[in-house]
Structure 1
Amino acid sequence: MKKYLLSLFSFLIPIITFAQETEDVGFDQKIDQAFQPVSDFFTQVIFFEIGGIPFVLILLVVSAAFFTLVFGFPNIRFFGKAINTVRGKYDEIDHHEVGDTAAAVDGDIRDTIRDESKEGEVSHFQALATAVSGTVGNGNIAGVALVIALGGPGATFWMIVCGLLGMSTKFVECTLGVQYRDVDENGTVYGGPMYYLSKGLKEKGFAMLGKITAVLFAIFCIGGSFGGGNAAQSNQATIVIKELFDWESTGAGTLVGVVLAILVGIIIIGGIKRIASVTEKIVPFMAVLYVVCCLYIIGSNFSLVDDAFSLIFAEAFKPTAIGVGSLIGVLLVGFQRAAFSNEAGAGSASIAHSAVRTKYSASEGLVALLEPFIDTVVICTMTALVIIIFNFGGFFEYGDATGAGVVIIDGATYEGAGITSKAFAEYIPYSKIFLTIAVVLFAVSTMISWSYYGLQSWKYLFGRGKRADLIYKLLFCTFVVIGAAASMDSIWAFSDAMIFAMVFPNMIGLYFLFPVVKKQLRRYLDAIKLAR
């Protein structure tokens, strides 16, 4: 670990020095100017349109609806079983002796079954906490503010719809993540779309297609770990830190980024077990604290809640008061931000869930369907209600014509997490300090989870050696600094492009392999029945 930290400091010291030396010319601005063309390129490539609608959003929504119907609304039917699985009610079926009746329910020959309950590195709850920490991030604070600034209250409705549908997609991809994972001789788990694409499609007779899509996914996932899972998070953390301390220095973002990079670097060296041990403590704490504050604001303005929901429903189907100007525009804003926030369809969460200790892959698929519900239906909706209730005071106009999600309140400009912070400050004393802490915790937890996703993809492409690990982690920490220094507009555009790029190869795997998920779901449900 000392060697790793020395390498990290050595890598970041030139950045710190350069930031200080170029204070008068704006080092943050130099990074942003260099990064903007990269962001623009990927945005144009990934978000190609059909009939004025980005094809990737059509693919996400249609696929989520398809899986919801094919599996008979698993987001509703199995919600209770998902909760019971997380709390350990069915753990005993993972510990039956090899060859017993429950272990053979899928038709395998008794006494010849591998005891998969000993494979894996983390519990159901730890896997869920790690994956939720990858999705519950500043998309819930800054992303929701962006939704409302761009699409008005009506975009919240479509965000919720996307979250509910996304539960089915998440169930399918995380079941496959466990089903096709690799476990080495040391018990270390390697899983995710890279493995179910390459191994699963090979089973179906499409070995070459599997290899190509697996490589593409790994490349895009690395980009996603640098973008949405990293740079976007440090970007929002930096915004609230600078706002809290009224820090306008031209190199402030870079210096904040360096501090965050060192903090993240210390944590991610420990691998999935260290990450899981951190996230299982941070995620419940920060999520509960944030939800309690939202509930306090909503409860304090309870008489306005029905008005807020009325506005959400009215503007969802008749967006007359917003800048995007059409029903399709509102729908797209809501779906895009929800998909970015909960990542259903991107396949990223299956990497974390693949590390679970279980011999029933569908058990973890059921656990995973809780993520979009927690992330989008609960936390994002609460944030939206807080902002809408706040803006009943007429503080800003819905619909930013520039497309950057910037609003003007009392003559000052606010964007992303700054809008949410302003709303909190209206009702909770010293909330700026609280929200700064919340944003930083959300950012750090998301970054450390996404570092694991990206590293797994990096290992798939470049091998599992220590040198490859070190190179990836240094690059990851560099993007922490880039995200802190660059503008929100360029960072979020790049982040969107990288997250949504992962959808294309991942969906190929889901469509080819969903019959495998059906079989594994029957196996798990039968095991539960036999254990009663």
Structure 2
Amino acid sequence: MSAFLEWFEKIAVAFADAAWGLPLLALLLGGGIFFLIFSRFVPYRHFGHGLEILTGKYEDPTAPGDINHFQALSSALAATVGMGNIGGVAIAIVMGGPGALFWMWISAIVGMATKFFTCTLAVMYRGKDTSGKVQGGPMYFITEGLGKKWKPLAVFFAIAGLIGCAPMFQSNQLTQIVRDEIMIPAGMVAEQATFWGDFTLGLIIVGVVSLVIFGGIKRIGQVAASLVPLMVFIYVVSVLYIILSNITEVPYYLTLIVTDAFTGEAVAGGAVGTVIITGIRRAAFSNEAGIGLEAMAHGAARTREPVREGLVAMLEPLIDTIIVCSMTALAILMTGVWLTTDADGVTLTAQAFSEGIPYIGVYVLILCVIIFSITTMFTYSYYGTKCLGFLLGAERQHYYNYFYIFSILLGSVASITAVISLIDGMFAMMAIPTMTASILLSPKVYRAAKDYFQRMRDEELAGYDDDDDDDDDV
């Protein structure tokens, strides 16, 4: 088994390094900048309106779709606000240094525009699966928006999504923190023989996840809507405690993040390119802007106004990367564990919590990791079934869940390097069709946004006129 896992790691690393070259960086970051400029900053200027939509002010129970705006955002955040914010940020700092966070910020800012375009398209060009049910996502807006001749691009996305949606990173990090912080210290598993301990934990995770994923998007949306706010609250309060305890050091580390982004001296040895690539890769894994997975969750939103869902979706990079990832990075940097240990991933974050919140910090993080990783696994199963449904038909899409639970076991026993490399590579493959189609269809999104905001202004003016008439009658 060890020989297979070593071979698996070598193949995964080579694949990811080849996929994340300059062309993909130009497509993701350059495409996001294009959306930002082409939209004339329209989605940014209506940020407040997006918050109003999220509160249910414009809810239409008769509109097509399975879940409301808040559930769609929660389902997407259940996938994005997760282990990428805890273990992924730690990996970014270990591989690229503090400066990697700066490039995560840049990716998130332009990613907000990318999310607006991709998730607007997910509703604008919803298609029907073989059972006649309305579906959304890149494979549907490619075929419905660009035409059937572009179907090979949609098929390419769906094939990459089958593996890209696998929850191996989540199960890997969950087993890692339970093994390192509970099982080994308690003598339950020997440090030199962890395979069967990890495998057992993987089986437990399979049992928990199976209870939810076979219920479909409605159950996923309900569970995510209740757990996501709780997990974000617990995690944010904990990290804020660490930051506030070291508040005088915040200016120093913020300066370090910015300067190291252009020097790469802290960890990368002056290789600025490594810092940039690391930051963009981790941002893509964190908020999925341009990858296309989140568009499937937003494509299920109950609305007749595609632009509204685009405005809701663009909140994700702000919450996920700019707020949550930054807080994790500051906790790791301020406690100094990134300089004093060889730990990686979630174990490094656990050491930061143990240092910053003595006695209970590591247990608080374990609770957060359990909630983060499990809810992420709920949502990713939905994405994967939709990819298989597009390829083989809706009547066969449930078979994906069996591969899904197998991948949980594989992720539990494989190395973190193998797992993160495989998922990174598949995310890169999904970004190619998603960004290509979104750029080609961007004029239609811009026209839809222009029409939507004009109608909103007309309705507001009509409301003012009605008020004036009432005053005159009085």
What TM-score does the superposition give when structure 1 sets the normalisation length?
A: 0.81
Residue 85 of structure 1 and its aligned partner are, at CA, apart by 1.1
Q: Deviations over 1:415-438 (max 9, x none)?
A: 101111100111213121111121
Q: 1:224 aligns with which of 164, 169, 174?
A: 164
Q: Is 1:46 aligned with 2:14?
A: no
Q: Residues of 1 paired with 2:378 and 2:43: CA distance?
A: 28
Residue 324 of structure 1 and its aligned partner are, at CA, apart by 4.5
Q: 1:438 aligns with which of 354, 368, 379?
A: 368
Find the counterpart in structure 2 of residue 199 from structure 1. Answer: 144
Q: Residues of 2 paired with 1:160 and 1:40: CA distance?
A: 25
Amino acid at match of 2:19: I
Find the counterpart in structure 2 of residue 531 from structure 1. Answer: 459
Residue 389 of structure 1 and its aligned partner are, at CA, apart by 0.7
| Inter-CA distance 330–45: structure 2 relative to 1 (3 Å threshold) | closer
Q: Is the 8 A contact 1:154 1:314 kept in 2?
A: yes
| Inter-CA distance 286–146: structure 2 relative to 1 (3 Å threshold) | same
Q: Deviations over 1:441-472 (max 9, x none)?
A: 1111111111111110100001011xx23421
Q: Is 1:306 aligned with 2:235?
A: no
Q: Deviations over 1:171-220 (max 9, x none)?
A: 10000001111357998431100111011111xxxx32x11101001101
| Inter-CA distance 138–278: structure 2 relative to 1 (3 Å threshold) | same
Q: Is 1:421 aligned with 2:350?
A: yes
Find the counterpart in structure 1 of residue 242 from structure 2. Answer: 297
Q: Residues of 1 paired with 2:134 and 2:217: CA distance?
A: 9
Q: Deviations over 1:228-283 (max 9, x none)?
A: xx001110001001012213333111111111112111110010000000100111
Q: How does 1:34-113 map to 2 (within 5 A)?
A: 35-40=8-13, 42-43=15-16, 45-47=18-20, 49=21, 54-74=22-42, 76-91=44-59, 94=60
Find the counterpart in structure 1 of residue 6 from structure 2. Answer: 33
Residue 523 of structure 1 and its aligned partner are, at CA, apart by 2.9
Q: Is 1:177 aligned with 2:122?
A: yes
| Inter-CA distance 213–447: structure 2 relative to 1 (3 Å threshold) | same
More displaced 10-residue stretch of structure 1: 270-279 or 78-87 = 78-87
| Inter-CA distance 531–381: structure 2 relative to 1 (3 Å threshold) | same
What TM-score does the superposition give when structure 2 sets the normalisation length?
A: 0.91
Residue 43 of structure 1 and its aligned partner are, at CA, apart by 2.4
Amino acid at match of 1:414: A
Q: Residues of 1 paired with 2:129 and 2:17: CA distance?
A: 40
Amino acid at match of 1:120: G
Q: Is the 8 A contact 2:338 2:348 kept in 1?
A: no
Q: Residues of 2 paired with 1:121 and 1:232: CA distance?
A: 28
Q: How does 1:202-351 map to 2 (within 5 A)?
A: 202=147, 207-208=148-149, 210-226=150-166, 230-245=167-182, 246=184, 247=189, 248=191, 249-351=194-296
Q: Is the 8 A contact 1:90 1:528 kept in 2?
A: no
Find the counterpart in structure 2 of residue 132 from structure 1. Answer: 77
Higher helix fraction (1 or 2): 2
Q: Which runs of 4+ in 1 moved over 6 A?
A: 184-187
Q: Residues of 2 paired with 1:184 and 1:254: CA distance?
A: 36
Q: Is the 8 A contact 1:218 1:457 kept in 2?
A: yes
Amino acid at match of 2:317: P
DSSP-derived class of the 2:265 partner? coil
Amino acid at match of 1:477: I
Q: Deviations over 1:72-117 (max 9, x none)?
A: 12453121111111112333xx47xxxxxxxxxxxxxxxxxxxxx5
Residue 414 of structure 1 and its aligned partner are, at CA, apart by 1.3
Q: Percent of pairs identical after alignment?
A: 37
Q: Deviations over 1:102-135 (max 9, x none)?
A: xxxxxxxxxxxxxxx5211100000000011111
Q: 1:471 aligns with which of 399, 402, 411?
A: 399
Q: Is the 8 A contact 2:130 2:393 kept in 1?
A: no
Q: Residues of 1 paired with 2:168 and 2:378: CA distance?
A: 12
Q: Residues of 1 paired with 2:452 and 2:338: CA distance?
A: 51
More displaced 10-residue stretch of structure 1: 308-317 or 363-372 = 308-317
Amino acid at match of 1:289: I
Amino acid at match of 2:296: I
DSSP-derived class of the 2:212 partner? helix
Q: Residues of 2 paired with 1:421 and 1:40: CA distance?
A: 25
Find the counterpart in structure 1 of residue 467 from structure 2. Answer: none
Find the counterpart in structure 1 of residue 465 from structure 2. Answer: none
Amino acid at match of 2:69: H
| Inter-CA distance 324–363: structure 2 relative to 1 (3 Å threshold) | farther
Q: Is 1:522 aligned with 2:459?
A: no
Amino acid at match of 2:153: T
Q: Residues of 2 paired with 1:415 and 1:273: CA distance?
A: 36
Q: Deviations over 1:27-67 (max 9, x none)?
A: 5x3552353254245325523x3xxxx32122111000010
| Inter-CA distance 359–251: structure 2 relative to 1 (3 Å threshold) | same
Q: Residues of 2 paired with 1:343 and 1:276: CA distance?
A: 18
Q: Is 1:462 aligned with 2:430?
A: no
Find the counterpart in structure 1 of residue 471 from structure 2. Answer: none
| Inter-CA distance 201–272: structure 2 relative to 1 (3 Å threshold) | same
Residue 524 of structure 1 and its aligned partner are, at CA, apart by 2.3
Q: Residues of 2 paired with 1:307 and 1:182: CA distance?
A: 51
Residue 526 of structure 1 and its aligned partner are, at CA, apart by 2.7
Amino acid at match of 1:145: A
Q: Is the 8 A contact 2:129 2:389 kept in 1?
A: no
Amino acid at match of 1:70: F
| Inter-CA distance 324–232: structure 2 relative to 1 (3 Å threshold) | farther
Q: Is the 8 A contact 2:131 2:394 kept in 1?
A: no
Q: Residues of 1 paired with 2:173 and 2:114: CA distance?
A: 28
